[in-house]
């Protein structure tokens, strides 16, 4: 991208993840990145945000990681696809950042959520950060597409109090069309979490014309209900807040003409999840 296409923010804290952030790791060498990924000593973060009430229970600090292998057509934060757009942050600094808020998080029944991008691209950093903040009494939630769930051992999964799993579609072909990757690893991760009895929330984004097929949602809902560990489903209406990022990054955005779903459609999708016994929000 050319100069001046993005505003370059100064600090780790952002108002929200819709700030466009690029090239924050431009000075980091490839071998330093490889070492960081192997050890988890350093993470590459788009930003930290505070005060979230939509990324897990209570009020939460959210660490937004950089790096994602998927290319979802309706991704809101394509600047997080490239790990080098993330700011290199030492593990100790990330722990300190969360630690500043730990008392407030406890009072507000919240915790730390690590989201992305795809957080498990940096599995060593994520698990070390979770392990450290859990020792401080902070609740941990992992917001993930589940594709790299195999990177975590069963023992490491115990450091994750809650997994928030983004389900895009049940249909294998449609999944590849929507995300560029197969659905099976995500479903397998969900099955594994169920087998281990780990708490799970599901996220489902309603995009008119892309993820509103009634039959497909029925399959997705039946799968989620069959797991037995899904505590709630967050049904989220698509919005266009990320569109400007696609444009600024020079990416081909195919959803220019897609409107946010009407309330009736969102209600219908909620109803479909409720019909199989799941709670929706
Ligand atoms: S998985 Fe998330 S971060 Fe990755 S492309 Fe899809 S929506 Fe974007």
The predicted pLDDT at position 209 comes to: 97
Ligand 1 centroid–CA 166 distance in Å is 9
Q: Is the CB of 117 under 6 A from ligand 1?
A: yes
Residue nearest (by alpha carbon) to ligand 1 atom 7: 75
Of 118, 116, 117, 113, give the one whose Cα is nearest residue 142. Answer: 113
The predicted pLDDT at position 10 comes to: 55
Q: Is the CB of 205 under 6 A from ligand 1?
A: no
Q: Is the CB of 79 under 6 A from ligand 1?
A: no
Q: Is the CB of 116 under 6 A from ligand 1?
A: yes
Instruction: Please list, in sequence order, all residues whose beta carbon lies within 8 angstroms of the beta carbon of residue 43, skipping any fewer than 6 positions away.
Output: 36, 63, 65, 86, 88, 89, 91, 94, 122, 125, 126, 129
Q: What is the Cα–Cα distance from 91 to 97, expressed in whole angstroms?
A: 10
Q: Over the chain (281 residues), what is each successive 10-residue block's mean pLDDT? A: 42 85 90 96 96 96 97 96 95 97 97 97 98 98 98 98 97 97 98 98 98 98 98 97 95 96 98 98 92
Ligand 1 centroid–CA 100 distance in Å is 29
Ligand 1 centroid–CA 69 distance in Å is 8
Ligand 1 centroid–CA 74 distance in Å is 8
Task: Supply the pTM of this predicted model.
Answer: 0.94
Closest ligand 1 atom to residue 80 Cα is 3
Q: What's the order of all strands across the beta sheet hosting 87-90?
A: 87-90, 42-52, 60-65, 111-115, 139-144, 162-166, 200-206, 230-237
Burial of 15 (0-12, 13-18, 19+ CB in 10 A): exposed
Residue nearest (by alpha carbon) to ligand 1 atom 8: 75
Q: What is the Cα–Cα distance from 121 to 147, expressed in whole angstroms?
A: 9
Of 109, 101, 119, 107, give the one whose Cα is nearest residue 49. Answer: 101
Ligand 1 centroid–CA 103 distance in Å is 31
């Amino acid at each position: 991208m050319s100069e001046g296409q993005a505003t370059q923010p100064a600090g780790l804290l952002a108002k929200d993840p819709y700030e466009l952030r690029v090239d924050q790791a431009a000075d980091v060498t490839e071998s330093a990145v490889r070492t960081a990924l192997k050890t988890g000593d350093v993470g590459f973060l788009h930003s930290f945000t505070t005060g979230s009430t939509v990324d897990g229970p209570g009020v939460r600090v959210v660490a937004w990681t950089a790096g994602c292998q998927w290319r979802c057509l309706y991704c809101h934060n394509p600047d997080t696809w490239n790990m080098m757009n993330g700011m290199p942050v030492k593990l100790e600094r990330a722990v300190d950042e969360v630690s500043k808020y730990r008392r407030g998080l406890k009072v507000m029944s919240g915790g730390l959520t690590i989201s992305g991008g795809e957080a498990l691209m940096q599995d060593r950093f994520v698990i070390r950060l979770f392990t450290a903040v859990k020792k401080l009494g902070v609740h941990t939630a992992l917001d993930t597409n589940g594709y790299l769930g195999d990177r975590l051992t069963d023992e490491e999964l115990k450091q994750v109090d809650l997994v928030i799993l983004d389900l895009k579609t049940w249909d294998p072909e449609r999944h590849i069309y929507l995300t560029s990757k197969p659905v099976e690893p995500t479903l397998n991760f969900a099955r594994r979490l169920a087998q281990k009895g780990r708490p799970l929330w599901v996220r489902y984004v309603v995009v008119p014309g892309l993820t509103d097929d009634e039959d497909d949602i029925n399959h997705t809902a039946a799968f989620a209900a069959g797991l037995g560990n899904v505590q709630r489903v967050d049904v989220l209406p698509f919005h266009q807040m990320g569109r400007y990022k696609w444009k600024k990054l020079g990416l081909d955005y195919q959803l220019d003409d897609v409107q946010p779903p009407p309330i009736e459609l969102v209600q219908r999708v909620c109803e479909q999840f409720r019909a199989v016994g799941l709670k929706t929000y």
